[in-house]
Homo-oligomer: A and B are copies of this chain.
Amino acid sequence: MTNIILNKLVIIGVGLIGGSFALAVRKAGLVKHIIGLGRSKENLQRAIKLGILDEFTTDYSLALKNADLILLAVPVGQIEKIFSQIAPYLESKTIITDAGSTKQDVIASARVFLPNHFKNFVPAHPIAGAEQSGSNAANTDLFQDKALILTPLDETNTDALECVKNIWQGCGARVSQINAYRHDEILSAVSHLPHLLAATLMNHIVSTSTADSLDDLLHFAGSGFRDFTRIAGSSPEMWRDICLANRELLLKQIDTYQEELARIRRIIENHDEAALVKAFSDARAIRKKWLTNKS
């Protein structure tokens, strides 16, 4: 299985993730033909010009005929609908994978809507992204040295799992396997909560300002503010889907974060210099440790 070549790869949703996956698989020499499907014909036409796709279609029966691998790279809110649309055309050899930011809900949908192909479904999540979206944001090296999480189940076919794993490794990703609950828990802490906090800061600033005073605020906001709020620049629909798909764990994260924020608020209110330095030192130390381990 290590030198697997895909005769036909189907990308559903040719945006930043789907497009970058196509480019990376092609660069690695792991595919012969790539066909794309998506909502915007303009975007698909551009994907052909950019060398991402060999062809595109709106016809699932044509697209899925003889497919080796299908990647669903759409916001998690659309996955259910697409599962139900592709189900009638799936062949027994076809492997299905996704790039959804949450995994428990995607797996639950696959159980319902891909009953006959559930064992061929390999749930996956590449930890890579950017502010941009659409096929023109696609980039061959997006997944290079980035984490790719697989959350297979007991039922998952071993060959299907190996195939998806090898393809992602071929794209340069560092592949890990964890269970879906733990995936969603981890991502709620290090991705979903920070996104919510950044968006909330922007809205907080607006809600506490008049139009004039808002201009002042933004005029004096510096590079710290820019970096802190960068993630608030990404797709609202994608983030709506993620927050709702991972609702229970995210609500828990918000609650414990609010407690931690209330704790530091009390420290400031009590003018507790030592506790304040400790809080900032702890935060810096853990971040430094993280950056050291990353590099």
Residue ranges of A at the interface with B (Cβ–Cβ < 8 Å): 127-129, 146-147, 149, 176, 178, 182, 186-187, 189-191, 193-208, 214, 216-234, 236-237, 239-240, 243-244, 247, 250-251, 253-258, 260-262, 264-265, 268-269, 271, 273, 276-277, 279-284, 286-291, 293
Contacts and interface: CB of A to CB of B under 8 A. Distances in A.
Contact of A251 (B195, B217, B265): B265
A282 to B, nearest CB: 6
B286 A206 contact: yes
6 contacts: A197-B261, A218-B286, A226-B291, A236-B284, A243-B276, A244-B276
B233 A264 contact: no
Contact of A257 (B189, B204, B218): B204
Contact of A190 (B195, B222, B253, B276): B222
B244 A203 contact: no
Contact of A200 (B219, B220, B264): B264
B281 A236 contact: yes
Given A200-B261, A208-B256, A216-B186, A276 B240 contact: yes
A189 B208 contact: yes
A254 to B, nearest CB: 5
A276 B235 CA distance: 12
Contacts of A237: 277
Nearest to A126: B222
A220 B128 CA distance: 10
